[in-house]
Structure 1
Amino acid sequence: MDLSEITRRAMRVHGRYDELNLAERGRTWSRHDFVLGFVGDVGDLAKLTQAADGVRPAPPGRGLGHELADCLWSVVVIAELYGIDLEAEFTTTMRQLEDSITREPEKGATR
């Protein structure tokens, strides 16, 4: 599955959540509501990685793979909601990072 397929599927699921939230709560999530939900997912991810590393007991519920997929879904949806071409931005950012870590250190520079 490529990123465009992932995006289409993520937005289909997002649309279904909008329908559900509208029916059950009378409103859909705004973009900032969605970002706040993502922050909660990242917190859950942190707890699961701590559990995987033996730092804390595993919380009940779904596992690390599920939470990573949930976070990916959120990132993809947030990018779409804000009109960000995630594939282009990812490509540009990775190129910049690769360039910055492969550059020869300047004379006299310390790390």
Structure 2
Amino acid sequence: MRVHELYDRLNEHQRGRTWTREEFMLGFMGDVGDLAKLVMGAEGARTMRGGKAALEHELADCLWSVIVLARLYEIDLEEAFRRTMTELEQMIISKLPDEEG
């Protein structure tokens, strides 16, 4: 996670410390807010600067934040994703009507 290491170095240089896990979460919330505005712009509900490139950038920022948070909390995100998708699939299937009836 080269970018994370670089941000740590930059924050240490500028502020004398690195971000806490809570601060990463708050940064992620800011990114999600920015993403929401861009989606609204893409749907015509507000003016959107930067077009699709800005939307791509913000989606990547959000994904990066999720990956960093998983790393900070020592979560195997790939395994957690697989497990969660399996659980969701089973839950959805259980709520669907039986197609043979």
Q: Does 1:40 align with 2:25?
A: no
> Aligned AA for 1:17?
Y
SS of the residue corresponding to residue 97 of structure 1 reads helix
Among 67, 91, 96, the alignment partner of 1:100 is: 91
Tell me the TM-score normalised to structure 2 length: 0.88
Can you give the 5+ residue segments of structure 1 that lack an aligned partner in the other structure?
A: 1-10, 107-111
Does the Cα contact within 8 Å between 1:47 and 1:59 map onto a contact in 2? no
Q: Does 1:70 align with 2:61?
A: yes
The RMSD of aligned alpha carbons is 1.8
More helix by share: 2
- Cα offset, 1:24, TM superposition: 1.2
Does the Cα contact within 8 Å between 1:48 and 1:64 map onto a contact in 2? yes
The 4+ residue runs of structure 1 with deviation greater than 2 A are: 59-62
> Aligned AA for 1:75?
V
- Cα offset, 1:105, TM superposition: 4.9
Q: For residues 74 and 104 of structure 1, do their structure 2 counterparts lie closer, same or farther at Cα, with a shift above 3 Å needed? A: closer
**Whole-angstrom CA distance in 2 between matches of 1:37 and 1:79:** 14
Does the Cα contact within 8 Å between 1:48 and 1:58 map onto a contact in 2? yes
Among 57, 81, 95, the alignment partner of 1:90 is: 81
Identity over aligned pairs, percent: 58
Number of residue pairs aligned between Structure 1 and Structure 2: 96
**Whole-angstrom CA distance in 2 between matches of 1:73 and 1:18:** 14
Can you give the 5+ residue segments of structure 2 that lack an aligned partner in the other structure?
A: none
Q: Name 2:12's counterpart in structure 1.
A: 22
